[in-house]
């Protein structure tokens, strides 16, 4: 079987191959390109910088920072086991 495209008979095999090749090329091209990496900071560091701690007093702010530090130590130790 064939289709008439721009006045020419094109076999379905060629249409199929063209479609597969085009799809593969688009998929390959979309994965390429320059990878924009951050400055090497881990995600946790970037989140700490992005989210401010809004405490009512400096004592409360210090308590929150200590709590986060202890939670990171406990969480980090359990991830390595």
Express each pLDDT in 7-27 by its tens digit. Answer: 999 999 999 999 999 999 999
49 and 21 fall within a common domain: no
Is the pLDDT at 78 greater than 60, yes or no? no
Q: Which of 51, 54, 52, 48 is nearest to 71 (CA)?
A: 48
Whole-model pTM: value is 0.40
CA distance 43 to 14: 48
Residue 25 lies in a domain: yes
Residue 10 lies in a domain: yes
Total of domains in the chain? 2
CA distance 55 to 35: 38
50 and 70 fall within a common domain: yes
Q: Which domain holds residue 22?
A: 2-31
Residue 38 lies in a domain: no
Residue 58 lies in a domain: yes
pLDDT of residue 79: 54
Residue 23 lies in a domain: yes
Summarize pLDDT for 20-75 with one digit per residue, the tens.
Answer: 999 999 999 998 777 666 557 777 777 777 777 788 888 888 888 888 888 888 87
């Amino acid at each position: 079987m064939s289709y008439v495209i721009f006045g020419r008979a094109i076999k379905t095999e060629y249409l199929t191959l063209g479609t597969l090749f085009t799809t593969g090329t688009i998929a390959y091209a979309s994965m390429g390109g320059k990878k924009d990496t951050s400055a090497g900071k881990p995600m946790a560091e970037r989140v700490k910088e992005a989210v401010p701690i809004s405490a009512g007093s400096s004592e409360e702010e210090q308590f929150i920072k200590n709590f986060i530090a202890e939670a990171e130590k406990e969480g980090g130790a359990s991830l390595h086991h």
